[in-house]
Amino acid sequence: MEFTHYSGFDKLPAIGDFVKFDKKVKVYTYRELMEKYKDCYYMGSTYDPIFTDYERIDFYGAERFARKEDVKKYSLQKWNKK
């Protein structure tokens, strides 16, 4: 049996050599966020959860929204319409 993922000569591989973590980020359209936060928008409201908590990103050429924490953590490309 040959192990190609571990580093080091004549060493046993560690569990970290086999386990990989998938990075999943939930992206939304503007319409999906409006539906999700429809109760936050009313006459006299000063809190805008969409532009406070989310940031526009470029998702395969389309404008989508992702949480600001995910944009920073995974270095997602910000939306820049030309």
pLDDT tens per residue, range 26-57: 999 999 999 998 888 777 777 888 889 999 99
For 50, counting Cβ atoms within 10 Å of its Cβ (0-12 exposed, 13-18 middle, 19+ buried), the class is middle
Q: What is the mean pLDDT of residues 3-30?
A: 69
User: And the tokens for 52?
Assistant: 């406070």
pLDDT for the residue numbered 3: 47
What's the whole-model pTM score?
0.67
Domain boundary assignment for the chain: 25-73
Looking at per-residue pLDDT, the higher value among 12 and 39 belongs to: 39
pLDDT for the residue numbered 56: 95
